[in-house]
Amino acid sequence: MLSAQIKCSRASFSIAANVDLQPGTLYGLIGPSGSGKTTFLQVLGGLVTADGDIKFKEQIWQNNSFIAPSQSRSTSTVFQENRLFPHMTVKENLLFATERSSDNASSVDMETVLENLEIDRLLENKPQKLSGGQIKRVSIARSILSNPDVLLLDEPTAELEDRLKSKILKFIGELTRINNMITILVSHHLPDIARYCAETMVISKNTISPPRPTQSIFAHGLTGFSEQIDFQEGSVLSVTVVDHQIDRGLTSLEVAGEVIVAPITDNLKKGEQTNIFVLARDVILASNQPQNISIRNCLSGQLVEINEHPDDFSSIVMVDLGGQILAAQITNSSLQDMGLQTGQTIFALIKTVSIEV
């Protein structure tokens, strides 16, 4: 377990945290720009000093009289900017990490990493020759190959195309579980957090909240948070891939016993399970099963909760789809016209193109 009670004050901002993080978990960290996300990661990595205590398992990383240098902490950071060593090839950059990796039993296999990050063809190149996305992928590989106990990812997917992003985040999620790592993912792209992070920490009012289940954060929204970043309510649904309809460009997914379709993806195999993120405002509600409409995805469920949105004239309606909760954002006037009540049966419609897989 990594426990951090820290406070870091700078001229422009201050950040405080009191969190306990568990191995084998991928954590999301979200907050407005300049709120201290990067600083928090660097404090954990030993690159920025802060007041307070940090303890990893039985090791003290810092207390009021001692600060362990970065070298002696089994952390590894994927920095926001390019920090590949410019005089070394990609391969030499990666070997620099493996040669200094912590000798855990759960060491990572170079081949697997190269394959998943799709960098096996770049090995002989110098960083100057790489594109922004390639630099990110090599940086992620280098951090993974240093075999850390704590992996800190600062906007790792910012320059990646969607297909690679999903593949890489999925890989990082698996590694986190298999190698029992503590991984923290900072991203501005909320669906990334929603889909891949089991728990999420939120920065608001200069404080990092203790991690909470990601699903509940996205379903219930964050009061006072939406003004600061582009936070939008949505729901995380666990789905299983039924099949790929290549000719129609669709992937069928099973959710709570019903089948929906999403834009086709080649990251997922048949039978594989994943999370999808559906924005609440992309969900349409109907009291009766609708006929003759273009929307392919119609799920029936039970209306379990209605929350008035604090900021505007809308409400978030929670629909129970056989155990999984889907949030829908509708205007208060629709709510009244339809006469929606908790406990009633309701049909939720999701546009195919709004589903990110």
Partner 1 sequence: MPELAAIWLTLKLSLVTTLVLLMIGLPFAWWLSNKTGTLRTVLETLTSLPLVMPPTVIGFYLLVILSPDTFLGGLWLDLTGDTLTFSFAGLVVASIIYSLPFMIQPLLNAFESVDPKLKEAAADLGASATEIFRYLILPLSKRGIITGGILTFAHTVGEFGIVLMVGGNIPGETRVISIALYEKVEILNYAEAHILSVALLTFSFLVLFITYSLNKMPLMRLR
Binding partner 1 (rule: CB under 8 A), the pick from 55, 126, 189, 309 is 126
DSSP 353: G
User: Which 167-186 residues touch partner 1, going by CB under 8 A?
Assistant: none
According to DSSP, the residues that pair with 234 across neighbouring strands are 279
- CB closer to partner 1 out of 66 and 339: 66
Q: How far apart are CA 55 and CA 53, in angstroms?
A: 7
From 19-27, 84-92, 259-267, 328-336, span contacting partner 1 (CB under 8 A): 84-92
Establish if 103 lies at the interface with partner 1 (CB under 8 A): no
Other Cβ atoms less than 10 A from the Cβ of 154: the count is 22
According to DSSP, the residues that pair with 15 across neighbouring strands are 8
Establish if 209 lies at the interface with partner 1 (CB under 8 A): no
Min separation Cβ 255 and partner 1, Å: 40
Q: How far apart are CA 233 and CA 255, in angstroms?
A: 19
The alpha carbon of residue 219 and the mean position of all alpha carbons in its chain are separated, in whole angstroms, by 15
- CB closer to partner 1 out of 145 and 260: 145
Establish if 76 lies at the interface with partner 1 (CB under 8 A): yes
Other Cβ atoms less than 10 A from the Cβ of 106: the count is 12
User: Which structure tokens are listed for 223?
Assistant: 């009061």
Establish if 102 lies at the interface with partner 1 (CB under 8 A): yes
From 8-16, 27-35, 82-90, 166-174, span contacting partner 1 (CB under 8 A): 82-90
DSSP 356: B
Which of these, 150, 44, 138, lies nearest to 96 by C-alpha position?
Answer: 138
User: Which 28-47 residues touch partner 1, going by CB under 8 A?
Assistant: 45-47
Establish if 125 lies at the interface with partner 1 (CB under 8 A): no
Which of these, 169, 153, 172, lies nearest to 108 by C-alpha position?
Answer: 172
Binding partner 1 (rule: CB under 8 A), the pick from 55, 83, 188, 309 is 83
Binding partner 1 (rule: CB under 8 A), the pick from 85, 120, 121, 224 is 85
Q: How far apart are CA 260 and CA 43, in angstroms?
A: 43
From residue 133 to residue 162, the character string flagging contacts with partner 1 as x (rule: CB under 8 A) and all else as - is ---------xx--x----------------
Which of these, 190, 192, 230, 234, lies nearest to 216 by C-alpha position?
Answer: 234
Residues of this chain that bind partner 1 (CB under 8 A): 45-47, 69-71, 75-77, 79, 81, 83, 85-87, 96-97, 100-102, 126, 128, 142-143, 146
